Chain A
Amino acid sequence: MDEENKRRLAMALAGALARTEWPVLNISPTDRMARETLDVLEQYRHIQEVAEFLRDFYADPGHTDSRLWHYMKRKYQYGVNLQGPEQLDLLFTQVLSNKQSKVYHPGVRYQILSPDDCWLAAIEPTGFRVSLMEPSTAKLKKLGEPLCLIQDLIV
């Protein structure tokens, strides 16, 4: 990796660590996948955070906070024990700031894999947080060779 690419990557990582912004999603309530999630969330409407999310979502589904959408899906659709959306931020930050995390650049965005291979974080070159995935073995194989480790960027 040349110095210019290294600089771009470092800027993207620094941005994602500093700003903790997630993108705004334009979700159609009639979309098959969205419908599946929303139907599950309706079952939990008696919980305040779900009721508030649904209220805000239906008021403007075109401007849905990606972090909240991730949180609602993980917690209520897939039963993950999360205390709040900030836990996703914490996970994201842990992946990006771990010196042993591996960085991949398969396309436009960077993907950063935690040292234990449990979490794969995607970030925009501009530093926006995109998504946090749990990579499967097949996905890990497909990632190929990492561009570098986070520690390679530390001077």
Chain B
Amino acid sequence: MDNCRSERLSGYHELVHYALPFGEGPGLSAIRDKIDHLDLTPEEMREVAELDEIVIEELSYRDWIDDYVLRDDPAQPLSHWWWHLGQLRAGTYPAELLPKHLREIYQQNSTQVAEIGYSGG
């Protein structure tokens, strides 16, 4: 049903487009982790990069995100940012561990959030 460019990414695509904008995200970390183990084509890599960027933006700007989405898994490596969405939401995730394209969005958003005094929620 979902005609995103890669079928292998359809689950992640669906979550980013139909769950996260509504503060939901069942299995988001697990789905993203599964993608990390795939041998992606260059086109799929571009698509994942775009979806990742949306996730980082949504975590910064969305008014309300359900707590279960933001429950971090401390057993997972910190470098795998998708297991640490709570820290990303709170702005306490170490920016240097993010890929460059995500780091720029994260830092830019963190600055803007700080300037307008947004406290999350």
Contact = CB atoms under 8 A, between A and B. Distances in A.
Interface in A99-146: 104, 106-109, 111, 120, 122, 130-143
Contacts of A78: 1-4
Interface of A: 23, 25, 31-33, 66, 70, 73, 78-80, 104, 106-109, 111, 120, 122, 130-143
Could you say which interface size class chain B belongs to? 20 to 34
13 contacts: A73-B17, A73-B18, A78-B4, A106-B68, A131-B18, A133-B15, A133-B19, A135-B26, A136-B14, A139-B11, A139-B30, A140-B27, A143-B26
B24 A134 contact: no
Contacts of B67: 107-108
Contacts of B16: 33
A120 B66 CA distance: 16
B18 A108 contact: no
Interface of B: 1-4, 10-12, 14-19, 21-22, 24, 26-27, 30-31, 34, 53-54, 57, 66-69
Nearest to B70: A107
A78 B4 CA distance: 7
A138 B54 contact: no
Contacts of B31: 136, 138-139, 142
B21 A122 contact: no
Given A107-B69, A108-B66, A133-B19, A80 B24 contact: no
Contacts of B66: 106-109
A133 B31 CA distance: 15
A134 B30 contact: no
B17 A136 contact: no
A33 B26 CA distance: 19
Nearest to A138: B31
Contacts of A111: 24, 26
B69 A138 contact: no
Contacts of B10: 136
Contacts of A66: 22
B27 A136 contact: yes
A134 B3 CA distance: 12
